[in-house]
A and B are shown apart, each in its own frame.
Chain A
């Protein structure tokens, strides 16, 4: 069992910007709010240089603002300070590594959670690990997570993702697919999120939302490039070019400031 995090200012900022429902809040789409958060987290970081939550939140905010070099530094520092019992913060650490394409580190961070019997049955840990397994196309890891989640009602993500992969018949192609997605969008990517969309049919659809630093024209070019490269990949495997589309896909979303700059 895990104690609640003490409600420090850093935790409040973490919850506001990275909590489960944070992405739907209008404030989280306000660049000024992110700038203010970066400023405040920097102050906190000077005072509490060894605080993991402060450091990983700072890395997330900087990445969201497109300051990739600064974010990478903060992320490396957060990695050194990581505390696996702080599952939400540890999960954010993994997501930030994945956003930057550092999949090995992302996997290591999540492995540390799921390898701990006290932590691994927590839904956020297992479900976040499943998202990452999907993003890397690691069906074996996903299968392992599904076994871990047996009997735990809230840990449903691994099984859903496995159902989608099985229904698509693309288990052998998933890693290649995700490698291409990463190669195309990683340079512009500032945040990722996975949505499971249930329209009443089975299986549901999997949507990876990728928030990119790209104005609308550049985003369309990225979208088209991604569709073409995936089509080449599937055709080379003897399959129809967009066979994955009914099952899973990547939606590129320009950051609001990139939209505004284009007007």
Chain B
């Protein structure tokens, strides 16, 4: 069993590699780790205790979850939804659009956004 912070730690470890070893595949992996760390953190957070996945919508699970968070009244949760959506979009670019270049530094920003969700917003 692992915790969301373990997933983020793996992303950070890859991010700490010298630039020469941070291949494009690793950069994309870092972005993916950052997203799933933040996603699982928020799934386990009390703010999402009322979340239920619906089968009555065309949206996938991730967008459904982001929508749930975005429509809560607690502004901290809305801000977390906004950042999670940003990392989600980065992850879509990293994992699905492999024929397109990703922005320089996108992996570092993704880790920082995940870290901000997990360590700052709810403190």
Interface residues of A (CB under 8 A from B): 21, 23-26, 29, 195, 197-202, 205, 207, 216, 220, 223-224, 227-228, 231, 240-246, 249, 251, 253, 256
A-B contacts counted at CB < 8 A amount to: 90
Question: 10 other contacts beyond A24-B103, A220-B116, A249-B86, with CB at 8 A cut-off?
Answer: A29-B105, A197-B93, A201-B63, A227-B79, A228-B75, A241-B70, A242-B71, A242-B81, A246-B85, A249-B82
Residues of A within 8 A of B100 (CB): 24
**Chain B interface secondary structure, helix, strand, loop or mixed?**
helix
A218: min CB distance to chain B, Å: 14
The answer on a CB contact under 8 Å between A251 and B70 is no
The answer on a CB contact under 8 Å between A246 and B104 is no
Residues of B within 8 A of A223 (CB): 79, 82-83
Q: Given A242-B78, A243-B70, do A256 and B105 touch, yes or no (CB 8 Å)?
A: yes
Residue of B with least CB distance to A245 = B70
The answer on a CB contact under 8 Å between A241 and B78 is yes
Count residues of chain B with CB under 8 A from any CB of chain A: 35
Residue of B with least CB distance to A227 = B79
Residues of A within 8 A of B60 (CB): 199-201
Listed residue (A21, A200, A242, A251) with the most chain B CB atoms within 10 angstroms of its CB = A242
How far, in angstroms, from A24 to B97 measured CA to CA in the complex? 14
Listed residue (B58, B66, B78) with the most chain A CB atoms within 10 angstroms of its CB = B78
The answer on a CB contact under 8 Å between A243 and B104 is no
Listed residue (B59, B79, B92, B109) with the most chain A CB atoms within 10 angstroms of its CB = B79
